[in-house]
Structure 1
Amino acid sequence: MSITVSNLTKLYGEQRAVDDLSFTARPGEVLGFLGPNGAGKTTTMKILTCYLSQSSGTAEVCGYNVETDSLEVRKRVGYLPEHNPLYPDMYVREYLAFAAATHRISRPRERIAELIELTGLGREANKQISALSKGYRQRVGLAQALLHDPQVLILDEPTSGLDPNQLAEIRRLIQELGKEKTVVFSTHIMQEVQAICDRVIIIDRGKVVADDPIDRLQRRLSGSRSLLVQFDRQVEADKLLRIKGVDQVVPTKELHSYRLLLSAGSDPRPEVFHFAVDNNLVLLGLNVEALSVEEVFRALTAAG
Structure 2
Amino acid sequence: MSIEVKNISKLYGNQRALNDISFKVNNPEIVGFLGPNGAGKSTMMKILTTYIKPENGSALVNGHNIFDQPKNVQQSIGYLPEHNPLYLDMYIKEYLAFNANIYKVPKQRIEDVIELTGLTPEKHKRIGQLSKGYRQRVGLANALLHDPEVLILDEPTTGLDPNQLIDIRNLIKTIGKSKTVFLSTHIMQEVEAMCDRVIIINKGEIVADKKLSDLREDQKQTVIVEFDFRVEDAFLKRLPKVTEVKNTYGFVYEITFSTSKDMRSHVFDFAHDNELKILQLNQKNISLENLFRELTSN
Q: 1:143 aligns with which of 134, 138, 141?
A: 141
Deviations 1:41-89 (A, max 9, x none): 1110110011111111001101111111000001100000000011111
CA distance in 1 between counterparts of 2:222 and 2:8 reads 31
Alpha-carbon distance, 1:224 to partner: 6.9
Counterpart position of 1:187: 185
CA distance in 2 between counterparts of 1:216 and 1:41 reads 23
The 1:263–1:155 alpha-carbon spacing in structure 2 relative to 1, beyond 3 Å, is farther
CA distance in 1 between counterparts of 2:185 and 2:216 reads 17
The 1:52–1:224 alpha-carbon spacing in structure 2 relative to 1, beyond 3 Å, is farther
CA distance in 1 between counterparts of 2:210 and 2:88 reads 40
Alpha-carbon distance, 1:292 to partner: 4.5
Indicate the SS of the match to 1:31.
strand
Counterpart position of 2:296: 301
Report if the CA contact (8 A) 1:9-1:17 is conserved: yes
RMSD across aligned C-alpha pairs, in angstroms? 2.1
Alpha-carbon distance, 1:101 to partner: 0.7
CA distance in 1 between counterparts of 2:12 and 2:191 reads 29
Deviations 1:210-253 (A, max 9, x none): 0010011123234279xxxxxxxxxxxxxxxxxxx99xxxxxxx
Structure with the greater alpha carbon radius of gyration: 2
Deviations 1:118-152 (A, max 9, x none): 11111211111111111111010000000000010
Deviations 1:138-172 (A, max 9, x none): 01000000000001001111112222222222212
Q: Given residue 92 of structure 1, which amino acid in structure 2 is its aligned partner?
A: I
- Give 5+ residue unaligned stretches, structure 1: 226-244, 247-261, 266-288
Alpha-carbon distance, 1:291 to partner: 4.5
Counterpart position of 1:71: 71
Q: Given residue 128 of structure 2, which amino acid in structure 1 is its aligned partner?
A: S
The 1:224–1:299 alpha-carbon spacing in structure 2 relative to 1, beyond 3 Å, is farther
Counterpart position of 2:53: 53
Indicate the SS of the match to 1:83.
coil
Deviations 1:75-118 (A, max 9, x none): 1000000000111111111100011011011x21x111111111
Alpha-carbon distance, 1:290 to partner: 8.0
Q: Given residue 180 of structure 1, which amino acid in structure 2 is its aligned partner?
A: S
Indicate the SS of the match to 1:155.
strand
Q: 2:213 aligns with which of 212, 215, 226?
A: 215
* Aligned positions of 1:172-251 closer than 5 A: 172-223=170-221
* Aligned positions of 1:21-36 closer than 5 A: 21-36=21-36
Alpha-carbon distance, 1:295 to partner: 2.6
Indicate the SS of the match to 1:183.
strand
Alpha-carbon distance, 1:296 to partner: 2.3
* Aligned positions of 1:273-284 closer than 5 A: none
The 1:13–1:100 alpha-carbon spacing in structure 2 relative to 1, beyond 3 Å, is same
Is 1:9 aligned to residue 9 of structure 2? yes
Deviations 1:237-287 (A, max 9, x none): xxxxxxxx99xxxxxxxxxxxxxxx9937xxxxxxxxxxxxxxxxxxxxxx
Name the % identity: 57
Alpha-carbon distance, 1:11 to partner: 0.3
Q: Given residue 166 of structure 1, which amino acid in structure 2 is its aligned partner?
A: Q
- Pairs aligned (count): 244
Q: Given residue 44 of structure 2, which amino acid in structure 1 is its aligned partner?
A: T
Counterpart position of 1:264: 258
Q: Given residue 19 of structure 1, which amino acid in structure 2 is its aligned partner?
A: N
